[in-house]
Structures are given as structure tokens and as C-alpha cells.
Amino acid sequence: MQDTLTSGPALLPVYAQMPVTPVRGHGSWLVDEQGNEWLDAYGGHAVASTGHSHPAVVKAIADQAAKLLFYSAAVPHPLREQLAERIASLCPDPLAKVFFVNSGAEANENAIALARKRTGRRNLVSIRGGWHGRTPGALSCTDGARYEEAAKRAGVPLSTKVAFNDIAGLEAVVDRSVAAVILEPVQGIQGARDFAPEFLEAAREICTRAGAALVFDEIQCGVGRSGAFTAAEVYGVVPDALTLAKGLAAGLPIGATVINPWLAEGLTIGDLGSTFGGGPVVCAATLANLDVIEREGLIANTLVIGERIRTGALALGVKSVQGRGLLLGLCLDRPAAEVQKALFPYRVVTGTSADPNVLRLMPPLSFSAAEADLLLAALGKVL
């Protein structure tokens, strides 16, 4: 590593990369430089919601790029307004106001800033195992020693972290100094660890009582992946702010902070901003992507295929399966990294997680029964 940092290629080697160089993609498949096809149960990091290069999404991008590649929100654009309406209509009431950004971290950063502005408080609470991004506010809520150290280096005050599913622990720290409690209803990087419904219900009550904002980070588990458009809907718990990113446009960078009227109250021109946020091309891509999700019944598919993978994995002797829909964590009796590596010769791509024994699956929402069976067959050979 040290040698490659001081000489060699220009690209900083800060990612542990998988042994595949995809040059094309279609549906759940990646095609490498030699023309080999790889089954993608990692979904380009949970981004490829409608699969790779869905023709309808590609066409929407090309058409809009030819008309107007970009203009910022300094001017109105019908697609930006249409997309905001669409997302608001897909989120549970009263989440009805949308701000567009470029990434997950930026969406969380804005949710946190809005909560601080509305409450006039600074403190944040998050959950052990949570991952929210690398910008200051999001970083301060992300669990893990390396992130806490980075936050300290930046002089950012750390959130108070509560143990997973610990209702009494949450109750003990959410007081009138807390601006927001932020959590992922299904913790992605922790290995698709889904909260007990009672915890999320209690979090709602505790926040309401303390006048703190409840923020659901649905950057990984949202956009249909958990079995409804939002995990909030799956759980029947409505936060004050909900953030989306990865799966929205299936590949172009977009994030959205969706808030209720309470958090929107008092906002004036200039309070938020993002040059590239809500540009015409990314809005066209997202609208086309959401059309595909609806037209092809992909949210219902996540439940059917998720269940098929869960049952099949348990039949193979996997200890347990956590997660919702097509955000699944297979709890193994051995290191997940070894299993991920052993699957590469079968040309199957999966993910690891912060839990060394959990293999993370986040395939396209369009993953078919045949593709699920191929994945299970390869797993069966490896386990």
C-alpha cells in the first residue's frame, strides 16, 4: 500500500476492489473486458435498483442531455418540480417537501441542519452500527472508531450512540438538548440489520415527546428495497425527515431530503443550496427509473425474491438471515469475506459488511427467481 501511495497509478488506492472489471451491464449482469458475464448480487452498492443500464433510464438520460444538459435550481425546471411531487407522493404523509442534492451524505447533512435550525438545539443521537456518511454532520453520527477519530480530527462534536434496539437507552439520552435522532430502519453497512418494530415505534414517541426530529436514513434501504417505497411504510412509523439516494436514479448521483411541514416551517430563500442538486438530466433519469419500478412491479418482486433467497439460504445451512426485501444479511459460521472471495470464481458478486460473519446481498430490485437460484446454487457449492 505505501509504495502505491508514493508512486504508481494516479488513482488513490483507497478502495478494496473486487476482481472484476465491468465494461458493460444489463439487468442483474455485469460483462467484463473478456465478455464474461457476472451475476451482480451487490447491485453496484445498492444503486442499480432497476438493474444495470435499463433501456428506459438510458433513453431518458440521452433525450434530456440532448435538450438541456444542466441548469441549476436558480431557474425552474418542470422535471425537478415533477420529481419532487412524485417522491412526496411515494413517501408517507406528512412527508411532503423535497430538497435535491447529489449524494447520501449530503442528504443527511441537510436533514441534520434542518433539525438543528428548527429546534435551535445542537446535540444528535444515533445508533450503534449506523452508517450515515463522511461529511461532518453525517460523520459525527456514523459508528466505528475510524469515523469517530475522523470526526474528532475535524472538531465535530460526536453524536450520542445508543445500543441497537435499546429503547430504555434511547429514552435515557433523548432530552430537550437533542435536535435529532438519526437511524437507518435497516442498517445497511452493518449487514442488513433490521430494527424491531417496537424500537422504531418507541423512537417516534420519544422524539415527539422531547421535541426532537426523527430522521430515517433510507439511503440504502429506501426506494423499494425493503418491500415498500420507504422502509418507514414497511414499519408504519413516519419520521420528520427521510433521506434517499442510491437507488433513486439507478446510477446517476442524486440524493433527496424529504421533510414534513414542521421541519419546513420558517425556511426562506437561501437556507439550503446545492449547485448540481435536481439538475434536469438526473431528474429525467429518476422519473424514468421510478416509472420502471412501478411498471415492472419491482417492489412486489423484492418481497417474493427476498423470501426465495431467505428460504434457500436457510436450507443451505446459513445460520440466520436478517434484513428486509432485497437488503439481506446472511449470518454465516465463517468469515463473510472468505465466502465472497470463494464466489468470485463462479462469477457471482456479493457484499461483506461491518459484521465479519455477515454476507450482504443488495441485488437489483428486478432480480429474477432464476437469478436467485443461480446465486443460491453458487452459495451451495461454496458453503
Ligand X SMILES: Cc1ncc(COP(=O)(O)O)c(C=O)c1O
64 binds ligand X (CB under 6 A): no
Which one of residues 61, 101, 105, 228 is an interface residue with ligand X (CB under 6 A)? 105
Residue 379: name the closest of 340, 331, 333, 353 by CA.
340
As measured in angstroms, the least distance from the Cβ of 269 to ligand X is 26
Helix, strand, coil tally for the chain in percent (to 5): 40, 20, 40
Query: Which grid cell is 38?
Result: 457476472
As a whole number of angstroms, the distance between CA 192 and CA 355 comes to 10
As a whole number of angstroms, the distance between CA 356 and CA 338 comes to 10
192 binds ligand X (CB under 6 A): no
**Neighbour-count burial of 267, counting CB atoms closer than 10 A to its CB (0-12 exposed, 13-18 middle, 19+ buried):** middle
Query: Which grid cell is 254?
Result: 442524486
Residue 57 φ/ψ, nearest 5 degrees: -70, -45
DSSP letter string, 172-207: HH-STTEEEEEE-SEETTTTSEEPPHHHHHHHHHHH
Comparison of 189 and 298: residue with beta carbon closer to ligand X: 189
Which one of residues 38, 99, 131, 199 is an interface residue with ligand X (CB under 6 A)? 131
Comparison of 230 and 378: residue with beta carbon closer to ligand X: 230
52 binds ligand X (CB under 6 A): no
Comparison of 105 and 318: residue with beta carbon closer to ligand X: 105
| Residue, CB closest to ligand X | 104
325 binds ligand X (CB under 6 A): no
Residue 182: name the closest of 166, 202, 161, 167 by CA.
161
As measured in angstroms, the least distance from the Cβ of 227 to ligand X is 17
Region binding ligand X by CB under 6 A among candidate stretches 17-25, 79-87, 100-108, 337-345: 100-108
DSSP H or E segment with residue 258: strand 255-259
360 binds ligand X (CB under 6 A): no
- Looking at residues 218 to 247 of the shown chain, list those that interact with ligand X (rule: CB under 6 A): 219-220, 245
- From residue 14, give the alpha-carbon distance in Å to each of 216, 242, 299: 28, 29, 34
Which one of residues 49, 50, 103, 260 is an interface residue with ligand X (CB under 6 A)? 103
Comparison of 267 and 354: residue with beta carbon closer to ligand X: 354
- Looking at residues 132 to 161 of the shown chain, list those that interact with ligand X (rule: CB under 6 A): 132-133
Strands 160-162, 123-127: pairing is: parallel
Region binding ligand X by CB under 6 A among candidate stretches 77-85, 102-110, 264-272, 329-337: 102-110
Comparison of 64 and 220: residue with beta carbon closer to ligand X: 220
As measured in angstroms, the least distance from the Cβ of 276 to ligand X is 13
Region binding ligand X by CB under 6 A among candidate stretches 15-23, 104-112, 277-285, 349-357: 104-112
Region binding ligand X by CB under 6 A among candidate stretches 126-134, 197-205, 282-290, 374-382: 126-134
43 binds ligand X (CB under 6 A): no
355 binds ligand X (CB under 6 A): no
Query: Which grid cell is 140?
Result: 459525527
217 binds ligand X (CB under 6 A): yes
DSSP lists the bridge partners of residue 244 as 256
Residue 174: count other Cβ atoms within 10 Å of its Cβ. 23
As measured in angstroms, the least distance from the Cβ of 132 to ligand X is 5
Comparison of 219 and 292: residue with beta carbon closer to ligand X: 219
350 binds ligand X (CB under 6 A): no
As a whole number of angstroms, the distance between CA 288 and CA 282 comes to 10
Which residues, other chains included, contact 89 with Cβ-Cβ below 8 Å and sequence gap of 6+? none
Q: Which residues of the chain form contacts with ligand X (CB under 6 A)?
A: 103-105, 108, 131-133, 184, 188-189, 217, 219-220, 245
